[in-house]
Structure 1
Amino acid sequence: MADTPVETDVVIIGAGPAGLFAAFQCAMLRLNCLLIDVLPEVGGQCIALYPEKPIYDIPACPAIEASQLIAQLEKQIAPFNIPRLLKHRVDDVSGNRGDFSVKTDKGTTVKAKAIIIAAGAGAFGPNRPPLEGLEHFEETGSVQYYVRRKADFANRNIVIAGGGDSALDWALALKDNAKKLYLVHRRDRFRGAPESLRLLDDAVAAGQIEKITPYQLHALHGENGKLSAVEVIDLDGTTRKLEADTLLPFFGLATDLGPIATWDIQTARSVIPVRPSDCETSRAGIFAIGDIASYPGKLKLILQSFSEAAMATHAIHPIVHPDQALHFEHSTTRGVPATA
Structure 2
Amino acid sequence: MDNELFDIIIIGGGPAGMFAQYYAGLRELKTALIEATPRFGGQVSALYPEKKILDLPTFINITGRDLIDKLAKQSQLVDSKSFFNSQVTDLQKKDDLFEIEINHHAYLRSKSVVVATGSGSFSPRRVSVPGSDNAEQGGRLRYLLPDFKNCREKSFAVVGGGNTAVDYANELIDHGKKVSLIHRRENFRALESSVSKLENSELVSFYLPKRIASLDQQSDGISIELEDLKDQNIEKIKVDQLIGGYGFTASSAIIDAWSLSAKKYRYRFATDSKQMSSVPGLFVIGDASAYPGKADLIATGFGEAPTAINSAVEYFDPDRGGPQHSTSLDPKKVFTDD
Q: How far is 1:113 from its partner?
A: 1.1
**Distance across 1 between alignment mates of 2:3 and 2:89:** 15
Q: How far is 1:298 from its partner?
A: 1.3
Alignment CA distance shift 1:268-1:244 (3 Å): farther
**Is residue 268 of structure 2 the alignment partner of residue 274 of structure 1?**
no
> Partner amino acid for 2:210?
Y
**Is residue 302 of structure 2 the alignment partner of residue 306 of structure 1?**
yes
1:232 matched to which residue of 2? 226
1:126 matched to which residue of 2? 124
Contiguous gaps of at least 5 residues in structure 2: none
Alignment CA distance shift 1:332-1:254 (3 Å): same
- Contact kept in structure 1, 2:86 and 2:103, CA below 8 Å: yes
Per-residue CA distance 1:171-223 (angstroms, 9 max, x = gap):
111125455311111222222223212212211xxx21011111222211134
Of 277, 280, 283, 1:284 maps to: 280
> Partner amino acid for 1:216?
R
Q: How does 1:149-164 map to 2 (within 5 A)?
A: 149-164=147-162
Of 34, 38, 55, 1:36 maps to: 34
1:168 matched to which residue of 2? 166
Of 235, 239, 254, 1:259 maps to: 254
Alignment CA distance shift 1:260-1:311 (3 Å): same
> Partner amino acid for 1:211?
F
**Distance across 1 between alignment mates of 2:234 and 2:82:** 52
Alignment CA distance shift 1:294-1:240 (3 Å): farther
> Partner amino acid for 1:319?
Y
**Distance across 1 between alignment mates of 2:185 and 2:13:** 36
SS of 2:200 mapped into structure 1: helix
Per-residue CA distance 1:96-140 (angstroms, 9 max, x = gap):
584100001152101011111111221111111222232221122
**Distance across 1 between alignment mates of 2:284 and 2:123:** 21
1:145 matched to which residue of 2? 143
Alignment CA distance shift 1:222-1:73 (3 Å): closer
**Range with bigger deviation, 167-176 or 115-124:** 167-176
- Contact kept in structure 2, 1:270 and 1:292, CA below 8 Å: no
> Partner amino acid for 1:274?
T
TM-score (norm 1): 0.90
Of 189, 193, 210, 1:215 maps to: 210
2:46 matched to which residue of 1? 48
TM-score (norm 2): 0.91
**Distance across 2 between alignment mates of 1:294 and 1:148:** 32
**Distance across 2 between alignment mates of 1:193 and 1:97:** 48
Of 245, 252, 262, 1:250 maps to: 245
- Contact kept in structure 2, 1:155 and 1:178, CA below 8 Å: no
**Distance across 1 between alignment mates of 2:175 and 2:92:** 50
**Would you say how many aligned residue pairs link Structure 1 and Structure 2?**
332
SS of 1:52 mapped into structure 2: coil
Q: How far is 1:246 from its partner?
A: 0.8
**Distance across 2 between alignment mates of 1:209 and 1:186:** 17
1:186 matched to which residue of 2? 184
Alignment CA distance shift 1:45-1:165 (3 Å): same
SS of 1:116 mapped into structure 2: strand
Identity %: 30
**Distance across 1 between alignment mates of 2:196 and 2:218:** 38
Of 108, 112, 115, 1:114 maps to: 112
Alignment CA distance shift 1:115-1:148 (3 Å): farther
Alignment CA distance shift 1:6-1:211 (3 Å): farther
SS of 2:20 mapped into structure 1: helix
Alignment CA distance shift 1:270-1:220 (3 Å): farther
Per-residue CA distance 1:57-76 (angstroms, 9 max, x = gap):
11111111111111111121
2:200 matched to which residue of 1? 202
SS of 1:26 mapped into structure 2: helix
**Distance across 2 between alignment mates of 1:142 and 1:269:** 36
Alignment CA distance shift 1:72-1:154 (3 Å): same
- Contact kept in structure 2, 1:163 and 1:190, CA below 8 Å: yes
- Contact kept in structure 1, 2:6 and 2:109, CA below 8 Å: yes
